[in-house]
Structure 1
Amino acid sequence: MEEEYESRRMRRWEELDTDILVRIFLKFSVFELARVCSVWRTVCRHPILWKTLELSHMRSSFIKIPLEPYVYVERRSDESLTRILKLSMNLSGGNTRTLAFHFNLFLSDDQLTYTAERCPGLRRLVLPAWNRIKKTGICKAIRIWKDLESLTMPSIANPPYLFTEIANNCNNFKELKIMGPFEIFFADTLIAASLTSKLSALDALR
């Protein structure tokens, strides 16, 4: 009788097998699910859930200003991004291989390097606008991302230092996509940095 009852009893969510929960969680926001209970938070650390970290739905709350960095990001918006990055890096356990930011998610150097240090095995990166990312920040991140294979980035006024860092540190780099103008100087810089020999794909996105 007791065995029959057990077979008919509706199972609680936290009693489901981890593999089943992971398949379900793939359909939802892990950030919200991690708050439900300790069992779900543990499941939310599963590597398959963090293979891709898609932040292209997030945008900074900002206003344009006449001086560098030409945008002012509202404090609460910046703090919200920092919280999301910290939670993501904590749950992902360094398993993120693809990371994508929205163009208008104005990342700071500190936020970029914090992320790089906690997901060093990144393979594909989609960068936001350059406004708050400086030379020191992106160079430090590139030195950490030695396995980087693909970069999608906005056009940059002074590209030599970036391409040199990629050429020197990312041996598996093979794909570059540029959002915006792709001019002769840009192409010459790629050649000078010996990056063209590595590329199997080079695109200019308009």
Structure 2
Amino acid sequence: MTLDLMDLAVVSMVCSSWRDACQDPCLWGGNIFDLTKWTRNRRIPTLSSKTVGLLLSLLNLSNGQAHCLIFQFQLYLDNHTFYNVAKRSPNLKRLVLPGWVPDITKNGINLALEQWKGLESLTVTNTLVAPHFLKAIGKYCPNFSELKLTCHLTRNLATTMAKHVPKLKVLSVQSVRVNKSALVYVLKKLK
């Protein structure tokens, strides 16, 4: 019970009985996959193929019980990795996106969020992809209730938010520029 995720990944490779022990649901309930600790001290924080393999292996061990996934802000994430992570974490409740996601397409976002039907909270760090995420959330995630923005609140984003996540209960806007008309729009349109 004192092992962290990295330890579990290593221990699970010892033998089949240790792997079985590492798959025990009591180890994974509410587990937080915090990738900020995995990519520290790198000049260009990318998920190497080894790190991606480790993450996917851990998600497999968790048998879909991962509830929170936090990507490092400066991490580069592509469509393929994003979808594979989503496929292995269908019970995800909270997602913190990296800031650099140029290779995640609208289709990739839809494929991933179709896996995350129970998603309740999202931290968005990129203004360009935020509307695509909100549209997919409106389509696939009926229990979604919390949006944290660490990207600019624009009028386009406010309009998309009001249209696609009208049942939003919590909106957090931190350390970003806020367009006054966008903020007024959100306050008027969302209960």
Q: What interval of TM-score do these two structures reach, taking the shorter chain for normalisation?
A: 0.7 to 0.9
Q: How far 1:99 sits from its partner (Å)?
A: 1.3
In the alignment, the residues of structure 2 paired with residue 62 and residue 136 of structure 1 have an alpha-carbon distance, to the nearest angstrom, of: 30
Tell me the equivalent position of 1:163: 134
**Aligned partner of residue 29 in structure 1, secondary structure:** helix
Provide closer, same or farther for how the CA distance between residues 145 and 128 of structure 1 changes in structure 2, counting only shifts above 3 A.
same
Letter in 2 for 1:39: S
Tell me the equivalent position of 1:40: 18
Alignment identity in percent?
A: 32
* Contact 1:173 1:199 (8 Å CA) reproduced: yes
Q: TM-score, normalised by structure 2?
A: 0.77
Q: How far 1:110 sits from its partner (Å)?
A: 0.6
In the alignment, the residues of structure 2 paired with residue 83 and residue 49 of structure 1 have an alpha-carbon distance, to the nearest angstrom, of: 20
1:199 aligned residue (160, 163, 168): 168
Q: How far 1:180 sits from its partner (Å)?
A: 2.4
Tell me the equivalent position of 1:93: 63
**Aligned partner of residue 25 in structure 1, secondary structure:** coil
In the alignment, the residues of structure 2 paired with residue 86 and residue 158 of structure 1 have an alpha-carbon distance, to the nearest angstrom, of: 24
**Aligned partner of residue 148 in structure 2, secondary structure:** strand
**Aligned partner of residue 87 in structure 1, secondary structure:** helix
In the alignment, the residues of structure 2 paired with residue 159 and residue 42 of structure 1 have an alpha-carbon distance, to the nearest angstrom, of: 39
Structure 1 unmatched runs, 5+: 1-22, 64-70
* Contact 2:56 2:88 (8 Å CA) reproduced: no
Letter in 1 for 2:26: I
Tell me the equivalent position of 2:48: 78
* Contact 1:26 1:49 (8 Å CA) reproduced: no
In the alignment, the residues of structure 1 paired with residue 33 and residue 140 of structure 2 have an alpha-carbon distance, to the nearest angstrom, of: 23
In the alignment, the residues of structure 2 paired with residue 138 and residue 28 of structure 1 have an alpha-carbon distance, to the nearest angstrom, of: 27
Provide closer, same or farther for how the CA distance between residues 58 and 132 of structure 1 changes in structure 2, counting only shifts above 3 A.
farther
Provide closer, same or farther for how the CA distance between residues 39 and 102 of structure 1 changes in structure 2, counting only shifts above 3 A.
same
Give CA-to-partner distance per residue, 1:58-117, whole Å, 9 cap, x none.
339565xxxxxxx9x5xxx52123211221122111111111111122121111111111
**Aligned partner of residue 13 in structure 2, secondary structure:** coil
Q: How many residues align?
A: 171
* CA RMSD in angstroms, aligned pairs only: 2.4
Q: TM-score, normalised by structure 1?
A: 0.72
